[in-house]
Structure 1
Amino acid sequence: MTKVLKISAIILIAGVLAVWFGLPDLRDTLIAHVKRLSAPAFVLAPNDMKPQPQAQWLEAYRSLGYDLQCNGNPAPQARVSTDDDTVCTAIIKSYDGIPADSVDFLFHKGELQHIRIGFPDTSMEALQAHLNDAFSKSRRLDQQPGAEIFGKNVHVWPVAEGVVIIPRTVAPNQPLTLIWTSKSSLLRDLEAKKDRAMQELQKLREKAQSAPAVPAPVVETAPEAESAAAASPAPSKPTHKHGNTRHATVSNHGTSPDADLRKCLDMPTDRDVARCAAH
């Protein structure tokens, strides 16, 4: 019996070690679940979210029991704005009573600019109901002209010091995220987009100016054709006589048809007249 227990213990330890070192994603998930059992709840009304000094903000939340892990060189996908220079993350168990996974504080030059809260997809209905109730008297910005600057498929509400954004829908088993963004960050993003647009316009102008001019096509006329055109008189317009008279034309023999007919009628015999008329 003792031998069986030892073998079972060895197999169990080997399995744990295999999972721990061989499956890092699963390992991290298990650690997060364990930490979430004792993690604090994050409670901060959207209208109270505003820029704060980085050092004071982090000190305040660490004193509340938040295990904040900071990265001073975040990857592009970890940022909200391209100029975010520090991201600090903590595991939480809820946000305003709604089950949540984590909270990120994002800073720019020592000042809080974004708060990003991650939820499981199962919290979507509760989060939407909570925000619709909190912003019942506010008109959503995504329903107004120019809302494309916030992206597609999002709900956007104005708050005292910025905007709050959540997706309209979320696919099953995909993370759900609430983001608060400060006014100052929005203005910097707009200025950056404007600068990029002006740079592209300047490039197009320089490209157009450096392109070689295309000469207009020139049609050359032969000297002989020009001389013949100058020497030939302009064609005269035909004249027409009205009434019962015929149009005046010239035959191949230099006489008119009337003169030829009179000549035939002067023939001595009918046979001669017929022969003349036939020609």
Structure 2
Amino acid sequence: MNILKTVLVAGALFAAGTLLYPTLPQRYQYEIADWYERLGTPTYAESPDYFSARPQHEVIGENKARGHELKCYGNLGPAERIDAHDDYLCSAHISHAYDNIPARLVTFFFSDGKLHNVRIEFAAGSFPKLQDYLTRKLADYTRLDQLPGARFGTDPFGKKLVVWRVKQGLITAAAEDTPGQPPIILWSSYR
């Protein structure tokens, strides 16, 4: 009998959600759709200090083999690029990254058939876990933002940036949390 009650309650909640969804503000509709897209997706595990300017087909093949559903396209508009050289991108919804940190999306940016940038967006509220992971994982790399005279600017919310020089590029992240906003890390290859 308990199973029947559970099924009936779940069905009622689903029906109520389906009816209410179109009346929700766009922001909440996006968050619900985003949450649904991430259900059952694999954890993203490639370490940020191991990224390199590998061929596009290798990056796509490796991530598909790991179970990531990539959405790829070219003809990028200015707002879809990290820099002017990016000509193709692939993105995948992810549920977690690294030390089981809640995450949302990984996006690979390519230029002339080579990986050029990787952007990983984490779930809002995961900044402390992400900061702890980056501090431990990148402890042996040079923090460029701490060098005398270094100026790397701020993120869109006015938070200073931290920048590490890693084997094949730079990793950039915000130095502080912006409540309600998803923390982001960006790997960029050396040009």
Query: What is the DSSP-based 3-state SS (H/G/I as helix, E as strand, rest coil) of the residue aligned with 2:162?
Result: strand
Q: Answer 1 or 2: which has greater helix percent.
A: 1
Matched residues, number: 172
What amino acid does structure 1 have at the position aligned with 2:133?
A: H
Whether 1:118 aligns to 2:121 is yes
Cα distance, 1:45 vs structure 2? 1.5
**1:109-159 CA distance string (max 9 Å, x none):** 1110111000123111111111111122333100114532x3331011111
8 Å contact kept, 1:41–1:95: yes
Query: Among 146, 158, 161, which residue is 2:168 paired with?
Result: 161
Query: What is the DSSP-based 3-state SS (H/G/I as helix, E as strand, rest coil) of the residue aligned with 2:37?
Result: helix
| Cα distance change on mapping 1:51 and 1:71 into 2, 3 Å | same
TM-score (ref. length: structure 2): 0.80
Query: What is the DSSP-based 3-state SS (H/G/I as helix, E as strand, rest coil) of the residue aligned with 1:136?
Result: coil
Of the two, which has the highest radius of gyration?
1
Aligned partner of 1:249 in structure 2 is: none
Query: Among 119, 124, 135, which residue is 2:138 paired with?
Result: 135
- Structure with the larger RCO, 1 or 2 (CA within 8 Å, 6+ apart): 2
Query: Among 83, 89, 102, which residue is 1:99 paired with?
Result: 102
TM-score (ref. length: structure 1): 0.56
Query: What is the DSSP-based 3-state SS (H/G/I as helix, E as strand, rest coil) of the residue aligned with 1:52?
Result: coil
8 Å contact kept, 1:104–1:116: yes
Alpha-carbon distance in structure 2 between the residues aligned to 1:46 and 1:19: 37
User: 137-146 or 25-34, which moves further after superposition?
Assistant: 25-34
8 Å contact kept, 2:85–2:111: yes
| Cα distance change on mapping 1:182 and 1:146 into 2, 3 Å | farther
Aligned partner of 1:236 in structure 2 is: none
8 Å contact kept, 1:166–1:178: yes
Q: For residues 187-266 of structure 1, what are the structure 2 equivalents within 5 Å?
A: none
8 Å contact kept, 1:120–1:173: no
Alpha-carbon distance in structure 2 between the residues aligned to 1:146 and 1:103: 32
| Cα distance change on mapping 1:18 and 1:178 into 2, 3 Å | same
| Cα distance change on mapping 1:110 and 1:21 into 2, 3 Å | farther
Whether 1:171 aligns to 2:174 is no
8 Å contact kept, 1:85–1:108: yes
What amino acid does structure 2 have at the position aligned with 1:142?
A: D
Alpha-carbon distance in structure 2 between the residues aligned to 1:26 and 1:71: 27
Alpha-carbon distance in structure 1 between the residues aligned to 2:22 and 2:166: 44
Alpha-carbon distance in structure 1 between the residues aligned to 2:114 and 2:166: 18
Cα distance, 1:174 vs structure 2? 1.2
The Cα RMSD (Å) is 2.3
8 Å contact kept, 2:141–2:166: no
What amino acid does structure 2 have at the position aligned with 1:179?
A: L
Alpha-carbon distance in structure 2 between the residues aligned to 1:141 and 1:131: 14
List runs of 5+ in structure 2 lacking aligned partners. 1-11, 155-159
| Cα distance change on mapping 1:23 and 1:87 into 2, 3 Å | farther
